[in-house]
Amino acid sequence: MTAAERGFLLLCAELGDGRRPLTPAQLRTLRARVLERGAGDDDPERPLTAGDLRALGYDAEFSARICGLLEREKDLAVYLSIAAERGIRPLTRISPAYPARLRRLGEEAPAILFCRGNAALLERPAVALAGSRELTEAGKAFARRAGELAAGEGYVLVSGNARGADRTAQAACLEAGGAVIAVLPAELDACAPENERILYLCLTGWHLPMVAYRALERNRIIHALGEKTLVAQSHLTGGTWSGSEENLRRGWSPLFVHDDGSEGCSALIDRGAAPVRLEEFHSIRGLEAAAIPLQQE
């Protein structure tokens, strides 16, 4: 691990030591100031000092906070050692193996991913799936078909491991011989991959409990990791809706929505998502062509 990768972990990882890591916005500002004004040019491997931070325009309180984070080397070593015993390893945004699709998010890409399972799955073509926890029979059939088609067409299925659409699609994909990346909002050590066709991911810290804002953040990563994203079912509120609606605004991946006539899915289609009818859902690779006549009706 390089000094720069360690720096990312020290500044941005939750190590369970009570210190608040930098937010993405704070890290973005720090990097911008370092690039603009320079710091530590005499030895780029050395950590920033309080003097460097004052020269970058930070006050004494925030400078002390950054220095405190950078001084957590022993805590980081212990945290990563325990992780390694459980088969968990970190990827930082500047690590060579960090997924290229997330790099496209630039400074908005997660600073840190913790991985448990086959990280090589991040290099393969992927399709994402989102959907409600309480499924109709049609929503369940759509999610199941998405998983089966992903396996048959060589896509890794990316989802969130939640009850309902996520687990339905994941199970169908694995049963058909495919591979799955599950992005978790919490407690990576609670999920152990059963074989080399599964990878579990989480952000910021592998030990963290579930909280709402981390669940919302992971939805963004699911949409961004897929070459395209499928929505099996959606209400007008909740994580599926918020992640899909933001995807439409931000353009992380092309969005294809189950055209089941429901209020949530219809609203996403009205906002620009491509409709997919269950009876015509025969291929993931052919979705773009199949969606054109539906949009023209």
Q: Is residue 274 within 8 Å of residue 294, measured between CB atoms?
A: yes
Q: Identify the segments of the chain with pLDDT beneath 70.
A: 38-46, 212, 289-297
pLDDT confidence of residue 272: 96
DSSP secondary structure letters along 52-84: HHHHTT--HHHHHHHHHHHT-HHHHHHHHHHHH
Dist. CA 180–CA 158, nearest whole Å:
6
Going across the sheet that includes 274-276, the strands are 88-92, 112-117, 198-203, 179-183, 156-159, 126-130, 229-231, 255-258, 274-276
pLDDT confidence of residue 295: 41
Q: CA torsion sign, 166 to 170 to 173 to 178?
A: positive
User: Per-residue b/e over 109-129, b at no fewer than 16 CB within 10 Å?
Assistant: bbbbbbbbbbbebbeeebbbb
Show me where the domains of the chain are located: 3-85, 119-296
Q: Is residue 238 within 8 Å of residue 268, measured between CB atoms?
A: no
Q: By C-alpha distance, which of 100, 112, 136 is closest to 204?
A: 112
pLDDT confidence of residue 40: 55
Q: Is residue 165 within 8 Å of residue 144, measured between CB atoms?
A: no
Task: Round the CA-based radius of gyration of the chain to a whole number and report it.
Answer: 21
pLDDT confidence of residue 289: 67
Q: By C-alpha distance, which of 22, 14, 3, 10 is closest to 202?
A: 14
Q: By C-alpha distance, which of 199, 201, 150 is closest to 177?
A: 150
pLDDT confidence of residue 34: 86
Q: Which two tokens stand for residue 264?
A: 């949530």
CATH topology of domain 119-296: Rossmann fold (3.40.50)
pLDDT confidence of residue 68: 95
Q: CA torsion sign, 202 to 204 to 206 to 207?
A: negative
Dist. CA 87–CA 258, nearest whole Å:
37
Q: Which amino acid, residue 46? A: R
Tell me the pLDDT tens digit for each residue of 200-231. Answer: 999 889 998 777 677 778 888 999 999 999 99
Tell me the pLDDT tens digit for each residue of 53-102. Answer: 988 999 999 999 999 999 999 999 999 999 999 999 999 999 999 999 99
